[in-house]
Structure 1
Amino acid sequence: MKLLPLDWLIVLASLLVCFIPALFFGKRAGRNTAEFFASGRSVPWWLAGLSMVATTFSSDTPNWVTQQVRQYGVAGNWQWWAFVLTGVSTVFFFARLWRRSGVMTDLEFYELRYSGRAASIVRGFRAVYLGLFFNCFIMGMVTLAGCKIANILFGLPPWQTILICGVLNVVFAAHSGLWGVLVIDMVQFFIKMTAVVAAAYFGLVEVARHTGAGDGALAGLRKLVDVLGGQQINFQAGAQPVLSAIDGRGQPVLDILPNFAMSELALMIFLVPIAIGWWANWYPGAEPGGGSYIAQRMLASKSEKDSLGGTLFFNVAHYVLRPWPWILTA
């Protein structure tokens, strides 16, 4: 892809905006460990919530969601929408308790919950398993997506993307502490939401233009609903899903719920996530009871009320507001 000077200016401005908080909050983060890891426990609910949403908005997230919609229709999102159950339980049962615990990290909680050698073993195991193995797996997924995007936009080979992004992130996180991370999360949230809304908007404009439906995104949306409202996705072993007119033997594209007549599909994308997945899985941002990325921001909140408010805002934005530009793009 050939980038114009304006494109490069936007890239440079984005990088500068990202690193200004690191410079500004670097001195504050160096005061003590509570400032570095928990922002002095003075984060308001809206900043904690925005940071939670931005942290779970990785480079691979829009790609994965659009893929599920293209393969299984809108109902395919139940593979991750099911986690709203653990999100709601975190808001109303655990958010206040996390802040009340007074620990600095979710791993420290194990020393509070248990005692003696067993507590140290559990904490050490979780640190190695989640911090090393699982976290590396997550970073590998988002880095792979970043490499693909950078290759298309800038023509960079994967090793250069990994090196540049790795160095920038390590320097930023080590210097700024959680305060810098929270502020840049807020900035990146608006940058990323602007980008995905723009992608959906211009995609709908193109639909209107190519189909002769009229001008503007609204005309494109009406046309899209008219066409896809009567279409279903058919699945064949070893073949790509194909569209056809609805006859009850496929998954309607725009239906929120799966076609339960297709028992295997309904089991995979709805029944298992709803019955088991939401409480049995551990995934960053969707841990039963909170933990990891979410817990760190609850622990940094300035009060129990802010912890609850930030987590509630995160769940509303994460499950209700943010996915729809991706779904429209798909």
Structure 2
Amino acid sequence: MQLSSLDYGFIIVFFSIILGIGIYVSKKSGESSSQFFLSGRTMPWWLLGLSMVATTFSTDTPNLVTDIVRTNGVSGNWVWWAFLITGLLTVFVYAKLWRKSNVNTDLEFYELRYGGKPASFLRKFRAIYLGVIFNVITMSAVTLAAIKIGGIMLGLEPWQTVVSAGLITVIFSALGGFKGVVYTDFLLFFVAMAGALGAAIYLVNLPEVGGITALVSNDIITEKLSILPDFSNTEALITLLIIPLAVQWWSSWYPGAEPGGGGYIAQRMLAAKDENHAIGATFFFNIMHYALRPWPWILVALSSLIVFPDIASIQEAFPNVPADKLGHDLAYPAMLTMLPSGLLGVVLASLIAAYMSTISTQLNWGSSYIVYDFYKQQVNPNASEKQLVTVGRLSTVVLMVLSAILALALQNALQLFELLLLFGAGTGLIFILRWFWWRINAWSEIVAMFASGIVAILFKVTAVGPFLFNTEDGLLPSWAEYPTMVIIISVFWLGATFMTKPEEDAVLEDFYRKIQPGGPGWKKVLAKAKQKNIEIINTSEKWSVPSGITAMLLGCVLIYSCMFATGYWIYGETKLASILTVVALISGGLLIKTWRGMRNNIL
């Protein structure tokens, strides 16, 4: 595939603007660690919301969606659509709590909620576990997608893609810090959306595909179109829909969709001007992430089944792609090679935008853990602001190098997604309950963290997994693997909770006094404080969780209705699309009414 001068022009201008933003904000970002990692906590909701959307609009996301659609059909996307429940719980329950905490990172929360050596260990260990290990794995998946795009579209060797894509990203990330990330995300979002939409419109109308009407009526495609799994196929129904909706959303820790908020989502909430801006940013993100973006990727994935019906056809068309990089996810960049000059440059720029946005966010977030939660806590408690910024910039570079090395060894995006889900299985409920149940302690999280890792390795690396979970000759069906992990890990952390001492009264009282979480889970702490004549309630605000859950449910109806109405309008099923559109309007009105009541309660 040959790029024209126009294509190169788009890409060069794009890179120049990104580097210019990084250089422009570098002086301000270098003033202090708060500026470098949180931009002084002055960010508005709309800018933070767009930044969240741009961050999750990664190069591996369209590849992942393509892999899912080609393998399991459109309904296979419930594996990540279910996380909308997690996201909206964060919006209407946890966003204001995070902003009240006023911590620098979500890991600093550990020494606010827990006390003593276990809390200190948990904070430092997770700084490395999440900030380095999990973060590097996540970035390597993004870089793997870039490698596949570079190989298919530009004929680049994997190392050439890693060096060229990573160098500019790490430079502007190290210079601009969080402010540089958020400012560039504003531009990256619009470039990425333009590229995705432009590619979908052009590729659906290729002569081989024949337009949207021919696409949805094609015999190869019709069995893939359903938004819900086949209810007559019990295994598919359980795997693709029931487990994600009944278990996965609350039980699994996954980057960007952490139960109770966390990670780079928490970082943006902590950078917001106030609680309302934190809530507005996360709600805006969830609307854009689920209701707006999936369909351009889905349409390209469906079209690819006509042009490249199997992996062999992709291999035949692109013989230079290494065998260890072949997979269904290659179909997305393979389709993009058919774009005309001009649009090709825009789409390539959009893919670069998606890559840079995600990687820059992961670098800044992971670096904040290393600086605040490890270096300052463990190595140099008296470090100056200048030293903290320097360590932040150095750790940014190191994280980039480590993720690039791992990416060169990986093969498949869906494979990595499933592995990350398993490593976080069973831990999510702790992150939800720790705000509202006084009895959870540091040992609950420590045991859950190690148990999830050990059980995941046991099931995936040893013969235990195949022996227990196999559709044909295992003791249990294959779909039972994830729920079994959740049950095992939950038993471990609940056992640890009741076998160890609760947190000291002073720690619990200080936490309640600052956060005002409310609810029946703190009755015992409130009663003991009252007996000691200690006042820890400092607000007349009613407990907002019941209203928050109501808002969450209405928000789910609104966003799912918007998403599926869009799909059915595309499919030409106007009656069902109209009904869902009306449902979206009604649920939206009810949500506005509920939200106004919640705001009046806060004020």
Q: TM-score range by the shorter chain?
A: 0.7 to 0.9
Check whether the contact 2:22–2:176 (CA below 8 A) recurs between aligned residues: yes
Q: What whole-Å deviation, never above 9, does each CA across 1:11-35 have from its counterpart, x for those lacking one? A: 1111112112111111110111111
**Residue 126 of structure 2 corresponds to residue 133 of structure 1:** no
Tell me whether 62-71 or 173-182 shows the greater mean CA deviation: 62-71
**Residue 314 of structure 2 corresponds to residue 323 of structure 1:** no
Check whether the contact 2:110–2:119 (CA below 8 A) recurs between aligned residues: yes
Check whether the contact 1:196–1:325 (CA below 8 A) recurs between aligned residues: yes
Q: Which residue is equivalent to 1:45? A: 45
**Residue 1 of structure 2 corresponds to residue 10 of structure 1:** no
Q: Which residue is equivalent to 1:235? A: none
Which secondary structure does the structure 1 equivalent of 2:250 belong to? helix
Q: Which residue is equivalent to 2:199? A: 199
Q: Which of 214, 229, 233 is 1:223 aligned to?
A: 214
Q: Distance in 1 between matches of 2:240 and 2:258?
A: 19
Q: What whole-Å deviation, never above 9, does each CA across 1:294-327 have from its counterpart, x for those lacking one? A: 1111110111111000000010111111111111
* Equivalences for residues 1-330 of structure 1 within 5 A: 1-206=1-206, 209-210=207-208, 220-225=211-216, 227-228=217-218, 243=220, 252-330=223-301
The count of aligned residue pairs is: 301
Question: Cα offset for 1:168?
Answer: 2.1
Which secondary structure does the structure 2 equivalent of 1:107 belong to? helix
Q: Distance in 2 between matches of 1:160 and 1:123?
A: 37
Amino acid at match of 1:15: F
Which secondary structure does the structure 1 equivalent of 2:106 belong to? coil
Amino acid at match of 1:329: V
Tell me whether 163-172 or 260-269 shows the greater mean CA deviation: 163-172
Amino acid at match of 1:157: E
Structure 1's unaligned 5+ residue stretches are 214-219, 232-242, 246-251
Check whether the contact 1:55–1:293 (CA below 8 A) recurs between aligned residues: no
Check whether the contact 2:35–2:178 (CA below 8 A) recurs between aligned residues: yes
> Rg: which structure is higher?
2
Tell me whether 77-86 or 276-285 shows the greater mean CA deviation: 276-285
Check whether the contact 1:3–1:153 (CA below 8 A) recurs between aligned residues: no
Q: Distance in 2 between matches of 1:12 and 1:65?
A: 28
Shift >3 Å, 4+ stretches: none
Q: Distance in 2 between matches of 1:106 and 1:161?
A: 33
In percent, how many aligned pairs have the same letter? 50
Amino acid at match of 1:280: S
Amino acid at match of 1:222: T
Which secondary structure does the structure 1 equivalent of 2:59 belong to? coil
Amino acid at match of 1:323: P
Q: What whole-Å deviation, never above 9, does each CA across 1:162-214 have from its counterpart, x for those lacking one? A: 223333222211110101100111111111111110111002222xx457x6x
Report the CA distance shift for 1:164/1:244 in structure 2 as closer, same or farther (over 3 A): closer
Q: Distance in 2 between matches of 1:190 and 1:49?
A: 13
Question: Cα offset for 1:70?
Answer: 2.0
Report the CA distance shift for 1:244/1:5 in structure 2 as closer, same or farther (over 3 A): closer
Question: Cα offset for 1:108?
Answer: 1.3
Q: Distance in 1 between matches of 2:61 and 2:221?
A: 28
Q: Distance in 2 between matches of 1:188 and 1:78?
A: 26
Check whether the contact 1:106–1:291 (CA below 8 A) recurs between aligned residues: yes
Which secondary structure does the structure 1 equivalent of 2:140 belong to? helix
Q: Distance in 1 between matches of 2:300 and 2:277?
A: 34
Amino acid at match of 2:37: F
Q: Distance in 2 between matches of 1:152 and 1:224?
A: 24
Q: Which residue is equivalent to 1:236? A: none
Q: TM-score, normalised by structure 2?
A: 0.49
Structure 2's unaligned 5+ residue stretches are 302-603
Q: Distance in 2 between matches of 1:47 and 1:165?
A: 25
Check whether the contact 2:215–2:221 (CA below 8 A) recurs between aligned residues: no
Q: Distance in 2 between matches of 1:244 and 1:2?
A: 30
Q: Distance in 1 between matches of 2:203 and 2:221?
A: 22
Q: TM-score, normalised by structure 1?
A: 0.87
Tell me whether 320-329 or 65-74 shows the greater mean CA deviation: 65-74
CA-atom RMSD in angstroms: 1.6
Check whether the contact 1:103–1:109 (CA below 8 A) recurs between aligned residues: yes
Greater relative contact order (CA < 8 Å, ≥ 6 in sequence): 1
Which secondary structure does the structure 1 equivalent of 2:255 belong to? coil
Check whether the contact 1:25–1:180 (CA below 8 A) recurs between aligned residues: yes
